[in-house]
Chains A and B, each alone.
Chain A
Amino acid sequence: MTGRLKTPLLGPFLAPQPGPKMLGPNERLDTRMRRYPHHQEVDVVVVGVGAAGGVLVQRLARFGLSVVGFDAGPFWDVERDWVSDEKGSHKLYWNTLRITGGPNPITLGANNSGKGVGGGTVHFAAFTPRFHPSDFMEHTLDGVGVDWPFRYETLKPYYAMIEREMPVAGPARYPWGDPHGYPYGPLESGEYANLLVRGCSRLGIRAVAGGPIAINSGAYGDRPHCIFRGFCLQGCKVAAKASTLYTHVPDGIANGAEIRDRCMVSRINLGKDGLVNGVTYLDPDLKEREQKAKVVLVCGYAIETPRLLLMSSCPGHENGLANSSGLVGRYLMVQSANVVMGRFPGLIRQYKAPPANACTEEFYETDHTRDFARGFSIQTVGPLPCTFAKEMLAAKGAWGWGMRKVMMDYNHWAAFGLLGEILPHEDNRIDLSDEKDEYSLPAPRIRFELHENDKKMIAWAVPRIEEIMRAAGAEETAQEPRYAHLIGGCRMGVDRQTSVTDQFGRTHDIPNLFCCDGSICPTQGAANPALTIQALAARTADYLIAQRDLVLQKKKAPLDEPPMRPDLSPPGTLTRGVPPRLNKRRR
């Protein structure tokens, strides 16, 4: 410290006074949360209050069902718990033991999954593109992967709805996939976004800046606009970046939902009738407790959802619940997410502004002049110093004086990320290891291997990104191989032999057990998944509500497309922003 302390006009910023939780600087969680007695059977238990779980809790509670949402992590008090600091944000990630292996082991923890109310939306970068229509039928079109049990048009109105609930900022016209516009104007760009646009433009590649990202470009209710502090991946203290923690969960609580945080669900319980009757969980003191429910929705994401089904094996379900297909835990996917870094003569200061800003989807679709199927996107990323140093270790082998030297040039570097589709393969999977995690539960074991198409795509894509970086003016490039975005593990489908759930996430085997989160996606295209995951959740909520009479009696309901319930959106969200065009659903 140099003794030159500068002070704001009104003195240093004080910690919030004792009182209700603060979800950002303005949003105070002051509704009393309803508590359901442990012996009372509730309508629905939601396991995992993340991207999908947050939306489900909100919708079902607003409709009037009794809902308890469990999350293994804390219910964050954003003002008190989160910090503008990389190292101090370690607690946001899923840090209990997982074993990663196979020929191309994926890194987990900070690079993959969150823990706590809001789940992955707490620390996601908030890129929120839609999947392309072709993603829903890639087997029909390209003979690879698998088709979804429905088409893009089925999800389209839900995309439009969630884009308003988050809300998503972006260009007035987004040219790729099903071209559409965004309800809020593009967000101001950091310098690296300018570089992506410049590099692409010089090569005749279309690019956009300012979205689609779920970050407020203007104040939205009690959520302020982005202040460009650049710590999106450490949780947005400003509450400018959408997380179900602020967008959906408070409305759920106001409507009578209970959130039991720091409660790890360890087993789904089955009654003598072969139906699910609730869950067993470890409370914050690791004491085992039970909660009865008519319906259980598992929303723990691509590793924890299949893991929970596998851990719930019991007589008659020796291989895990809902696993008659043997596919629980299989077809796990990530996306190839190599980061290409470029050094520029001028200053960039890549720590300013949200990492997510500009992108191109010009290479998204299958192109028969290339030697692989499907495609990829290119997006801006903005690594902070610790992350960037580790990227330099991988990309340049930097250490010692070399590390010190390249890091002194931190402000001269920009980074673009690949987001390439990895095709589903049965042998990429999670199962249970013999080791125990910190909860004394069997630690999940992940096996991952890149296949031919994936490798060819990476080999083709990385040089394209380097070209763009150089066209933007970089004098040197370096790249780090990595992966992003888990998906799959309990995939949905029409055929019970080849999938775990139906198109609404209901398990084929047990009519009152649903999975609804990233784990049910059969493929993930070359788009970031959170928007799609939340759209799926809103649709499953509509289904549960439409079929509540049968579902709550634990009976198998027909697979009819439910009527959309815009009245269940968080209040006011659908009427803000650019007026929506009527989104007619086509089947």
Chain B
Amino acid sequence: MAEHLPINPRTGEPLPPRPQPGYYPDFSTLDQQAFWDAATREVVLKRVTDIPPIRFFAHDPALATALFDRILPQDDRDPDHRIPILNYVDERLSEGVSDGYRYAEAPSDAECYHLGLRGVESIAQSLHGTSFIQLGSREQDEIILSLRDNSPPAGEEIWSRFPAVNFFELLVTDAVDAYYAHPYAWDEIGFGGPSYPRGYMRLENGLAEPWEADEQRYDWEPPPTSLSGSYQPLAGLIPEHARRRQGGTH
């Protein structure tokens, strides 16, 4: 559907889906797999070829699918090259993979999903009298923004048990942890990927290795129907609510 596609800002025309969006056309980390150590190769290839089944969301995959389609849209990817975000999130939840902590008084992640999905549905019903999955992308984005701003217009008894913004954070965190762990996403952003035992040798000025690609930028803008193209920092200088699953830094 054309209204879901990013557009060329100069012409206003939708950009057709491609196997590999991003500024590094033809760059493929998977092509380099013979240069990776065996343990890494096994883990990464399994991720690509052995897609986990839907178990946790099995009773109603449509709602979660619709939600993740907005949380991290992939309409610019051709159907053969989409990353099955929901499957990886499902895997984490059904295997109970823990991050090693939970916020005091917060429900478990599984419980958050049960509650949060109900909450999203109740917002859709109260605003539009229909299910979230029936809504247009703008209406869906509006609902997600109300979570981000922690001002959901309905579902009070749910959001009193855990803040709507925490559900927003959980969704985005899970989506990016799934998406950016996939080699297709590495190719999209020009990340060199695994590099042991070969290593890197061109460290300065952002130079490409002989097997990496140079950047070839093009202009694009999010589809006019979407509301997720603009930015607003989640917290002020002092964090009022900590974020889930921060990776380590230093």
CA A255 to CA B31, docked complex, whole Å: 45
Q: Which of B71, B203, B205 contacts A188 (CB 8 A)?
A: B203
Q: Which of B36-67 contact A (CB under 8 A)?
A: 36-41, 43-44, 47-48
Nearest A-chain residue to B189, judged by Cβ: A410
**A513 → B minimal CB distance (Å):** 27
Nearest B-chain residue to A352, judged by Cβ: B200
In this assembly, does B10 line the interface, its C-beta being within 8 Å of a C-beta of chain A?
A: no
**A276 → B minimal CB distance (Å):** 29
In this assembly, does B122 line the interface, its C-beta being within 8 Å of a C-beta of chain A?
A: no
Q: Is the CB of A191 within 8 A of B237?
A: no
Q: Is the CB of A112 within 8 A of B248?
A: yes
Q: Is the CB of B233 within 8 A of A394?
A: yes
Whether A107 touches B101, Cβ cut-off 8 Å, given contacts A394-B234, A402-B228, A462-B237, is: yes
Q: Is the CB of B188 within 8 A of A383?
A: no
**B92 → A minimal CB distance (Å):** 10
Q: Is the CB of A6 within 8 A of B237?
A: no
In this assembly, does A389 line the interface, its C-beta being within 8 Å of a C-beta of chain B?
A: yes
Nearest B-chain residue to A482, judged by Cβ: B246
Residues of chain A lying within 8 A (CB to CB) of residue B177: 87, 386, 389-390
In this assembly, does B144 line the interface, its C-beta being within 8 Å of a C-beta of chain A?
A: yes
Residues of chain A lying within 8 A (CB to CB) of residue B207: 347, 349
Nearest B-chain residue to A377, judged by Cβ: B250
In this assembly, does B84 line the interface, its C-beta being within 8 Å of a C-beta of chain A?
A: no
In this assembly, does B22 line the interface, its C-beta being within 8 Å of a C-beta of chain A?
A: yes
Q: Is the CB of B243 within 8 A of A107?
A: yes
Q: Which of B141, B191, B231, B235 contacts A398 (CB 8 A)?
A: B231
Q: Is the CB of A385 within 8 A of B246?
A: no
Binds A, one of B112-120, B126-134, B155-163, B179-187: B179-187
Q: Is the CB of B34 within 8 A of A6?
A: yes
Q: Which of A379-437 contact B (CB under 8 A)?
A: 379, 381, 383-390, 393-408, 410-411, 415, 417, 419
In this assembly, does A450 line the interface, its C-beta being within 8 Å of a C-beta of chain B?
A: yes
**A474 → B minimal CB distance (Å):** 14
Whether A82 touches B39, Cβ cut-off 8 Å, given contacts A8-B34, A87-B181, A410-B189, is: yes
Residues of chain A lying within 8 A (CB to CB) of residue B98: 95-97, 109, 438
Residues of chain A lying within 8 A (CB to CB) of residue B141: 400
In this assembly, does A355 line the interface, its C-beta being within 8 Å of a C-beta of chain B?
A: yes
Q: Is the CB of B73 within 8 A of A110?
A: no
**B176 → A minimal CB distance (Å):** 4
Q: Which of B26, B73, B201, B246 contacts A228 (CB 8 A)?
A: B201
Q: Is the CB of A356 within 8 A of B250?
A: yes
Binds B, one of A9-17, A50-58, A285-293: A9-17
In this assembly, does A189 line the interface, its C-beta being within 8 Å of a C-beta of chain B?
A: yes
CA A105 to CA B102, docked complex, whole Å: 10
Binds B, one of A155-163, A230-238, A267-275: A230-238
Residues of chain A lying within 8 A (CB to CB) of residue B197: 13, 25, 227, 237-238
Q: Which of B160-217 contact A (CB under 8 A)?
A: 168-169, 172-173, 176-177, 179-181, 185-186, 188-207, 211, 215
CA A536 to CA B116, docked complex, whole Å: 48
Residues of chain A lying within 8 A (CB to CB) of residue B250: 125, 127, 337, 355-356, 379, 381, 417, 419, 484, 528
Q: Which of B102, B189, B231, B238 contacts A411 (CB 8 A)?
A: B189
Residues of chain B lying within 8 A (CB to CB) of residue A575: none
Q: Is the CB of A83 within 8 A of B43?
A: yes
**B205 → A minimal CB distance (Å):** 6
CA A86 to CA B183, docked complex, whole Å: 12
Secondary structure type dominating chain B contacts: loop
Q: Identify the interface centre among B6, B71, B231: most chain A CB within 10 Å of its CB.
A: B231
Q: Is the CB of A13 within 8 A of B36?
A: yes
Residues of chain B lying within 8 A (CB to CB) of residue A389: 176-177, 179-180
Residues of chain A lying within 8 A (CB to CB) of residue B235: 394, 481
In this assembly, does A68 line the interface, its C-beta being within 8 Å of a C-beta of chain B?
A: no
In this assembly, does A108 line the interface, its C-beta being within 8 Å of a C-beta of chain B?
A: yes
In this assembly, does A455 line the interface, its C-beta being within 8 Å of a C-beta of chain B?
A: yes
In this assembly, does A153 line the interface, its C-beta being within 8 Å of a C-beta of chain B?
A: no
Q: Is the CB of A94 within 8 A of B229?
A: no
Q: Is the CB of A351 within 8 A of B191?
A: yes
In this assembly, does A556 line the interface, its C-beta being within 8 Å of a C-beta of chain B?
A: no
CA A495 to CA B39, docked complex, whole Å: 51
CA A123 to CA B33, docked complex, whole Å: 24
Nearest B-chain residue to A11, judged by Cβ: B34
Q: Is the CB of B194 within 8 A of A401?
A: no
Whether A408 touches B237, Cβ cut-off 8 Å, given contacts A83-B194, A99-B102, A107-B101, is: no
Q: Is the CB of A401 within 8 A of B228?
A: yes
Nearest A-chain residue to B194, judged by Cβ: A84
In this assembly, does A190 line the interface, its C-beta being within 8 Å of a C-beta of chain B?
A: yes
Q: Is the CB of A401 within 8 A of B206?
A: no
**A239 → B minimal CB distance (Å):** 11
Residues of chain B lying within 8 A (CB to CB) of residue A229: 194-196, 199-200
CA A96 to CA B185, docked complex, whole Å: 30
Q: Which of A101, A110, A455 contacts B104 (CB 8 A)?
A: A101
CA A281 to CA B244, docked complex, whole Å: 31
Nearest B-chain residue to A98, judged by Cβ: B101
Residues of chain A lying within 8 A (CB to CB) of residue B32: 6
**B181 → A minimal CB distance (Å):** 4
In this assembly, does A1 line the interface, its C-beta being within 8 Å of a C-beta of chain B?
A: yes
Whether A4 touches B31, Cβ cut-off 8 Å, given contacts A87-B177, A227-B199, A238-B196, is: yes
Q: Identify the interface centre among B23, B188, B249: most chain A CB within 10 Å of its CB.
A: B249
In this assembly, does A550 line the interface, its C-beta being within 8 Å of a C-beta of chain B?
A: no
**B143 → A minimal CB distance (Å):** 12
CA A179 to CA B83, docked complex, whole Å: 51
Q: Is the CB of B245 within 8 A of A191?
A: no
Residues of chain A lying within 8 A (CB to CB) of residue B220: 405
Residues of chain B lying within 8 A (CB to CB) of residue A438: 98
Q: Identify the interface centre among A4, A101, A106: most chain B CB within 10 Å of its CB.
A: A101
**A526 → B minimal CB distance (Å):** 12
Interface residues of B (CB under 8 A from A): 6, 21-23, 26, 28, 30-41, 43-44, 47-48, 70-73, 76, 97-105, 141, 144, 148, 168-169, 172-173, 176-177, 179-181, 185-186, 188-207, 211, 215, 220, 222-223, 226-235, 237-239, 242-250
- The 10 A-B pairs at the shortest CB distance, nearest first, are namely A400-B228, A347-B206, A227-B199, A101-B104, A109-B100, A387-B247, A401-B222, A15-B38, A84-B194, A389-B176
- List, sorted by A's number, 13 A–B pairs whose CB atoms are closer than 8 Å: A11-B34, A81-B39, A99-B104, A109-B99, A109-B101, A110-B246, A229-B199, A381-B250, A400-B222, A406-B231, A408-B23, A417-B249, A438-B98
If A105-B104, A386-B181, A407-B176 are given as contacts, then 13 extra A-B residue pairs at C-beta distance below 8 Å, sorted by A number, are A1-B48, A25-B197, A84-B196, A85-B194, A110-B248, A229-B194, A229-B196, A230-B200, A400-B228, A408-B22, A482-B246, A482-B249, A484-B250
